[in-house]
Amino acid sequence: MAQEKIGVYVCHCGSNIAGTVDVEDVAKWAAEQLHHRGVVVARDYKFMCSSLGQELIEKDIKQLGLTRVVVAACSPHLHERTFRTACKNAGLNPYLCELVSIREQVSWVHTDKVAATEKAKAIISGGVERVIWHEALEPLKVPIHPATLVVGGGIAGIQAALEIADAGFPVYMVEREPSIGGHMAQFDKTFPTLDCSACILTPKMVDVGNHPNITLMTWSEVMRVDGYVGNFQVTVRQKPRYVKTELCTGCGICQEKCPKKVIDEVFEAGLGYRKVVYTPFPQAVPNYPVIDRENCTYFIKGTCKACQKFCPTEAIDFEQKEEFIQIDVGQIILATGYDLFDPRKIAQYGYGRLANVFSSLEFERFTNAAGPTGGKLYLRDGVTVPKTVAIIHCSGSRDKNYNNYCSNICCMQSLKFAHLAKEKTGAEVYNFYIDIRTPAKAYDEFYQRVLEEGTHMIRGRVAEVTDAARGTKDEGKLIVQVEDTLIGKQRRIPVDMVILSAALVPRKDHHETARMFGLSCSSDGWLIERHPKLDPVATMTEGIFIAGCAQGPKDIPASVAQGAAAAARVIGKIQQHEIAMEPVRATVDQEKCSGCRICNNLCPFNAILFHEDRMVSEVNPALCQGCGTCVAGCPAGAITGTGFSNEQVLAQIDGLLLHNIKHLEMEAVPVP
Amino acid sequence: MAIATTQARAPTFFDRVVAATPGDPHLEMCIQCGTCGGSCPSGPDMDHTPRALFAMINAGMIEKVLSSNTPWYCVACYYCMVRCPQQIHITDIMYTLKRMSIQEGLYQKGSAPEAPGFSQTFIDYVENYGRSFELGLATRYHLSYHPLDMMKMAPMGIGMLRKGRMDLTPKKIKGMDQLKSILAKAKELEAKL
Amino acid sequence: MSDQFEPVIIGFTCNWCSYRAADMAGTARMKYAPNVRLIRLMCSGRLDPTFVLKALAGGADGVMITGCHPGDCHYVSQNYKAMRRFLLMRRTLKQMGVEPERLKLVWASAAEGAIFTDEVNKFVEQVRALGSLHWPTSGEGYEQMFAIPEHMIAKEVTP
Amino acid sequence: MKYGYYPGCSLEKNAASYDMSAKAVARPLGIEFQELQDWNCCGASEYISINRVAAYSLVARNLSLAETQLEKGTDLVAPCSLCFLNLTKADQYMQEDAPLSAKVNTALNAGGMHYDPGSIHTRHLMHIITEDIGLDEVAARVIRPLTGLRVAAYYGCLIVRPGFQSKFDNFEYPTSLDRLMKVCGAQVVDFPLRAHCCGGHMTQISQPVALELIRRLLENAAEYKADVIVTLCPMCQLNLDVYQADVNKYFKTNYNIPVLYFTQLMGLAFGLSAQELGIGKEFIDPRPALAKIGVEVPPPEEPKPKKPSKEELPMPRMPEES
């Protein structure tokens, strides 16, 4: 085989790279010093990713007959596909192109120009050595199962499920609670338009419940995920409802007759009660109740069965067991939502200790016409109407002691609370804020409206809420102590009621979720998207998408937009029927295999079969994910990993250490 | 402070305050939320709240800051420090401002001109005996700074003596020479703020 | 530039976590020492001990292996295999007369650009303090790295 | 269990009753104290206002003494919250701030001493009783429960904040002292200002400010009908007890709430006598309150005129006086 003809292309990326790395010197160096290694051309260009830059490469491939291309630019995670496509357009196998990251790994992280330029040369040299050993490959085509799993039945999941189902593809929706609806179902009004949350949400919930393409699995949780894009096998645990759904008509008699009430910590946020057999709210979808086994008198004492006695259709079944259901899907959308920050952690605000300090979710239930007070706002005693209300923004957000991020929705939510408190009680309302953030459509106008209504806006983060009076005017009140930063003085404002706009935090079990689906979480615990700007709903794991608050705090419009965006991505893939995968796979050279079976146990995907008859192992390319552990572990060196072969890595090490110019200068070039 | 490249420039008042504070006080992180000023037990009596003072430090208002009574009215209760959402070491910065104010002699211009006197009197005893001495501290401090209050203070002092809660004479540690050489060296090492 | 010793360090990164942590460090313009040159693997489990020996024998003064946090492996559990190999490698290096501190294992998730940066800087200082690596069998031909030392070759015994 | 003991200047005289009662309850709990030899003042909150390196060196001398005198791994106990703060803070900042640590050690070296940051762990007396000994052990020794005594558990600032070295209890609403007092049989009131400031040294700098801070605490304790305020810091005891009369005079109030150390109440619950616990040195007479639990306190002894001893040192002569 003749020596390869390699082209090296060094990108300026405007001044992003050229500002720190002497790109012209690097290109000149590559042309001269790596010439003996096959570099026949080395060019630098302002923006290699531009169409002119790509044409430059395509032209060289055609005119100079390049057999390998090295592009020194940004991270391969951004533009690998761009340059591979350019190669392909010029008739070169796209896998004969190697990207070297001299932006993320050099110019952006180093300041010393000389050192940065030297490092850029070294890693280009590594790329050149490596690319020599590249092989022409074809992408693997994997068929896509047309069904999709949507995890989480809040507004983001509902939107995603409906979009996909309406496009004609099957959807499984798994929801942990007895009903879909999520947090949005708990609210009464939604900002900034103040339209009724139930009015806009319940039609969508009903659509999900009735849609012929949607299989709704509530009171269920995903237990296990196997497989990979196109072919996931998902195990869902269906918790026992103790209600035969095929017989239940949702008449509600069981709930009426159940003699036991417990505090509803979930839907009513602890502010109200529910029966032990219950649907969380009247518009629940599906409208079958569940029996809360922990609290059910029958399960505790063995007697009662009031629900069973009164059920007209004999739908109550105390013998029901949990079931594990296997479903096959091609893609997955995670819309698992958020938890509310526990404001008890901010001890100085007294939540949980001072009766009339409420959380934002409690306030939502207060104002909800279907809530425990029928939409009336009272103090904890359930009868007194507050005359003064304090609303504390940023409770647990923007605070390194709790959550070092802005929860995004609290400003608007707090302004909504101010409006509702005033509307419902005529109370004097004080909002305590650090900054007011209203950057979406019609949001600032809503702020103006709340100002017009006479809400007192005090700029200062509240220091403490106390019932320790100083003087008679404070007696029996809660005192909000704050520095009014705009006048520079400490103020103590006596109020009847305090509402804490608590932060949104990742679900308690976010870490297990991330592990089960092979995703990673940010340090705050939110699921990480593939790219924060350009790929906000895809993840690093092919075939798994995220939507809504699972990805970070966001309001309803943004959650809906993400749900729809994730659905669009899923539908696009289904319609292609198959998906192209990186051909990074391991193969066993049957001649070299000694049959030791060490690799068999190294593979987490059970992709390595052992042929007892021939005493050799073989990799099933459909199951192999290309991690390369077996390649590293094979004592006979019989396993090769395409794309990351021993030759490629060892050659790259030589290149990085500049052996190709130090030691090999005079030697003949080894040819693969 | 966070790793950032800044062009070389003469140290500002802000830089000096940060440099003279032990550890990393994170002063540059202040978002002016007022948690400190709201939490401060003596906040209502201060010329400026700590938050306002930080803005003034940023603005380079040396004289105003160092003649303020704010650091002297700090009771070191550490409420501001544990509540600060940006984890700024507010109490430590107050101590730094006290030291700078003494060095620059600016405390005399402000509304708490006698405040450093108490600290100075206190440490004089420590530097001479190795232990504090309440009777001497109270009499000497009040004689020097609040002579008119002496009469008011007298009953309390007599009460303390009667209850056996105050010594008539100071106690001296054995290693006084050692302590003196340590403190002398330390003072030599304390660079100008 | 000062005259201080500038070590050369080869870093192996996992495509799913630490390589992205390095990307993130770049995007956020965090700064670290330019002594580290990275190689992307699909998984830290791909790390063949040969790679480490090759790098050290070939002139690197230190090798950094980075992977996903335990339990977070993109390929279920392969980072544990990397950890096992790392521990073995440290022992092997020691037996070969190379300071085991020249090999470092770091867990960094895709979100941990700051940790990546910090660990690189610490490792560079650590290796700088150790000084230049004089590979035991080096000399002109680093390829000798797997050659059997003279004394271990059986000699003909004259009866 | 053995601990190093750093009493601090207050416990020598003004809070001698704290020292007595601490040692008195330590015995039955199996706590052994080894007092540091020749310790010096921690500098209170004053030295740091004048000179940074000197202030840290002053504290570091004590840490260095502890390092040489105590067996390795022995914790140092400070019953005074301010001493506790200074000892932990000096260690913490010496660990965090290498240049500062180097300067302090250069200064120490001038006295032939050295301190390795991180080697001495200082804890408040309250910490070891609740964390190392445990409430069960305390409960087992209660023979005269404080039944019916309404106690306001007052923590003050520095034992709970800012938690150098380690966090002890909630910064805002600590409950460990409440639990300890409950175990001793007292009726603990839910005292909202439990961790607020007693005024510290403000009594010396601006009395109106300090008296207002003290008044708030007394008002709040009175509102909750506390018979006694229990403290764990000499400064808190001093301000609330000694200055209570001044508060009454300044604000025309008539608070009369005795202020005792937690070790004194523990001691009473353990059946020890009032004398052993140094009760009787308070400005606000605790006898009516203690009568509720059947404890009799003998009338205060008139101090006998003291004969000057030979060792006694002369009164200090300060530069400006000469």
Contact between A656 and C39 using a beta-carbon 8 Å cutoff: yes
Cis peptide before A192 (omega within 30 of 0): yes
pLDDT tens figures, A10-29: 999 999 999 999 999 999 99
Question: What is the domain partition of chain D in residue ranges?
Answer: 2-124, 145-293
CB A656 within 8 A of CB A130: no
pLDDT of residue A619: 92
pLDDT of residue C141: 46
Contact between A104 and C31 using a beta-carbon 8 Å cutoff: no
Contact between D110 and B131 using a beta-carbon 8 Å cutoff: no
Predicted structure pTM score: 0.85
> Is pLDDT of C140 > 80?
no
Neighbouring chains to A with at least 3 Cβ pairs closer than 8 Å: B, C, D
Question: Which residues share a beta bridge with A429?
Answer: A389
Mean pLDDT of D45-63: 94
* Helix (DSSP H) and strand (DSSP E) numbers for chain B: 11, 0
pLDDT of residue A668: 42
Question: Which of B35, B40, B82 is the closest to A461 by Cβ?
Answer: B35
> Is pLDDT of D308 > 80?
no
Q: Which residues of chain A neighbour D194 with C-beta distances below 8 Å?
A: none
Q: Which residues of chain A neighbour B38 with C-beta distances below 8 Å?
A: 460-464, 481-483, 490
Task: Provide the pLDDT confidence category of residue B57 given band limits of 50, 70 and 90.
Answer: very high
CB D321 within 8 A of CB B142: no
Assess C38–A contact: CB distance below 8 Å, yes or no. Answer: yes
pLDDT tens figures, C17-42: 999 999 999 999 999 999 999 999 99
Domains and CATH numbers, chain C: 9-133 (3.40.50)
Task: Provide the pLDDT confidence category of residue C70 given band limits of 50, 70 and 90.
Answer: confident
pLDDT of residue C150: 46
Question: What CATH number matches the domain at B13-109, 2.60.120, 1.10.357, 1.10.1060, 2.20.28?
Answer: 1.10.1060
Task: Count CA within 13 A, CB hemisphere, residue A3.
Answer: 15
Shortest distance between the Cα of C61 and any Cα of chain B, in A, equals: 26
Mean pLDDT of A457-481: 93
pLDDT of residue C159: 42
Which residue on chain B is closest to A483 by alpha carbon? B38
CB D203 within 8 A of CB D237: no
Shortest distance between the Cα of A78 and any Cα of chain C, in A, equals: 10
> Is pLDDT of D321 > 50?
no
Task: Provide the pLDDT confidence category of residue C153 given band limits of 50, 70 and 90.
Answer: very low
Question: What CATH number matches the domain at D2-124, 1.10.10.10, 1.10.3720.10, 1.20.1050.140, 3.20.20.80?
Answer: 1.20.1050.140
> Is pLDDT of A309 > 90?
yes
Neighbouring chains to C with at least 3 Cβ pairs closer than 8 Å: A, B
Mean pLDDT of A538-543: 90
| DSSP secondary structure letter of residue A35 | G
pLDDT of residue A391: 98
Cis peptide before A286 (omega within 30 of 0): yes
Instruction: Report, in angstroms and rounded to the nearest whole number, the Rg of chain C calculated over CA atoms.
Output: 17
Contact between A521 and C75 using a beta-carbon 8 Å cutoff: no
Mean pLDDT of A148-168: 98
pLDDT tens figures, A230-241: 999 999 999 999
Judged by average pLDDT, the poorest of B56-70, C85-99, D112-126 is: C85-99
pLDDT tens figures, A497-522: 999 999 999 999 999 999 899 888 88
Judged by average pLDDT, the poorest of B34-48, C1-15, D168-182 is: C1-15
Q: Which residues of chain C neighbour B5 with C-beta distances below 8 Å?
A: 31
| DSSP secondary structure letter of residue A237 | E
> Is pLDDT of C156 > 90?
no
**How far, in Å, CA of A518 to CA of A508, rounded?**
17
Mean pLDDT of C1-11: 84
> Is pLDDT of D249 > 50?
yes
CB A125 within 8 A of CB A661: yes
Contact between D205 and B23 using a beta-carbon 8 Å cutoff: no
Judged by average pLDDT, the poorest of A102-116, A294-308, A514-528 is: A514-528
> Is pLDDT of A600 > 50?
yes
Tell me the CA distances in angstroms from B87 to A397, A400, A415, B29, C130, one per residue in order. Answer: 14, 7, 28, 8, 37
What DSSP string describes B124-179? HHHHHHSS--HHHHHHHHHHHH-GGGHHHHHHHHHHHHHTT-S-SS----TTHHHH
Q: Mutation target for A interface from D161, D173, D193: give the one with most A CBs within 10 A.
A: D173
Q: Both tokens of residue A556? A: 């309803």
Judged by average pLDDT, the poorest of A33-37, A180-184, A573-577 is: A33-37
CB D192 within 8 A of CB A468: yes
Distance of CA D112 to the CA centre of its chain: 31
**How far, in Å, CA of D67 to CA of D69, rounded?**
6
Mean pLDDT of D267-281: 93
> Is pLDDT of B169 > 60?
yes
Nearest CA-CA partner of D10 in D99, D104, D86: D86
Question: Which residues share a beta bridge with D35?
Answer: D5
Q: Which residues of chain B neighbour A463 with C-beta distances below 8 Å?
A: 34-35, 37-39, 79, 83
> Is pLDDT of A671 > 50?
no
Contact between B38 and A461 using a beta-carbon 8 Å cutoff: yes
Q: Which residues of chain D neighbour B82 with C-beta distances below 8 Å?
A: 161-163, 171-172
At A577 the three-state DSSP class reads: coil
> CA torsion, points A93, A98, A103, A107, in degrees to nearest 10?
-140
> What number of residues does chain A have?
672
Instruction: Show which of residues 144-183 on chain D sit within 8 Å of chain A, judged by CB atoms.
Output: 170-173
Question: Which residues share a beta bridge with C13?
Answer: C40
Judged by 3 or more CB pairs under 8 A, whether B touches D is yes
pLDDT of residue B61: 96
Q: Which helix (H) or strand (E) holds A638?
A: none
CB A193 within 8 A of CB A169: no
CB B42 within 8 A of CB D199: no
Mean pLDDT of A351-359: 95
pLDDT tens figures, B107-135: 888 777 888 888 888 889 899 999 988 87
Judged by average pLDDT, the poorest of A372-376, D209-213, D233-237, D294-298 is: D294-298
Above pLDDT 70, what percent of chain A?
A: 98
Residue A262, sorted as left (phi over 0), alpha (psi -120 to 50) or beta, turns out to be beta
Task: Provide the pLDDT confidence category of residue A133 given band limits of 50, 70 and 90.
Answer: very high
Question: Which residues share a beta bridge with D286?
Answer: none
Judged by average pLDDT, the poorest of A193-207, C108-122, C128-142 is: C128-142
pLDDT tens figures, B11-30: 999 999 999 999 999 999 99
Name the average pLDDT for chain D.
91
Domain D145-293: top CATH class: alpha beta
**How far, in Å, CA of D180 to CA of D145, rounded?**
12
pLDDT of residue C149: 40
Q: Residue A354's CB: how many other CB atoms inside 10 A? A: 16
Which residue on chain A is closest to D193 by alpha carbon? A468
Assess A314–C contact: CB distance below 8 Å, yes or no. Answer: no
> Is pLDDT of A581 > 80?
yes
Task: Count CA within 13 A, CB hemisphere, residue D2.
Answer: 9
Q: What is the ipTM of this complex?
A: 0.82
Greatest mean pLDDT among A519-528, A557-566, A580-589 lies in A557-566
Contact between A470 and D219 using a beta-carbon 8 Å cutoff: yes
pLDDT tens figures, A160-184: 999 999 999 999 999 999 999 999 9
What DSSP string describes A305-346? -HHHHH-TT--B-TT---EEEEEEESEEEE---EEE--GGGS
Say yes or no: do domains D2-124 and D145-293 share a fold.
no
Judged by average pLDDT, the poorest of A99-108, A158-167, A636-645 is: A636-645
Instruction: Show which of residues 2-41 on chain B sit within 8 Å of chain D, judged by CB atoms.
Output: 20, 22-24, 41
Nearest CA-CA partner of D14 in B153, B134, B156, B142: B134
Task: Provide the pLDDT confidence category of residue B142 given band limits of 50, 70 and 90.
Answer: confident
CB C128 within 8 A of CB C4: yes
> Is pLDDT of C142 > 70?
no
Mean pLDDT of A402-406: 96
Mean pLDDT of D88-107: 94
pLDDT of residue D301: 61
> Is pLDDT of A664 > 50?
no
Q: Which residues of chain D neighbour A463 with C-beta distances below 8 Å?
A: none
pLDDT of residue C137: 53
Instruction: Report, in angstroms and rounded to the nearest whole number, the Rg of chain D calculated over CA atoms.
Output: 20
pLDDT of residue D309: 67
pLDDT of residue C86: 94
Judged by average pLDDT, the poorest of A144-158, A220-234, B130-144 is: B130-144
> Is pLDDT of C138 > 50?
no
Above pLDDT 90, what percent of chain B?
A: 58
pLDDT tens figures, D158-177: 999 999 988 888 999 999 99
Above pLDDT 70, what percent of chain C?
A: 84
Q: Both tokens of residue C131? A: 């000084």
pLDDT of residue D15: 93
Task: Provide the pLDDT confidence category of residue C146 given band limits of 50, 70 and 90.
Answer: very low
**How far, in Å, CA of B39 to CA of D157, rounded?**
13
Above pLDDT 90, what percent of chain C?
A: 62
Helices in chain D by DSSP H: which ranges? 9-12, 16-29, 47-50, 52-69, 81-96, 98-110, 125-127, 135-140, 176-183, 202-205, 207-223, 234-237, 244-251, 262-269, 287-291
pLDDT of residue D318: 54
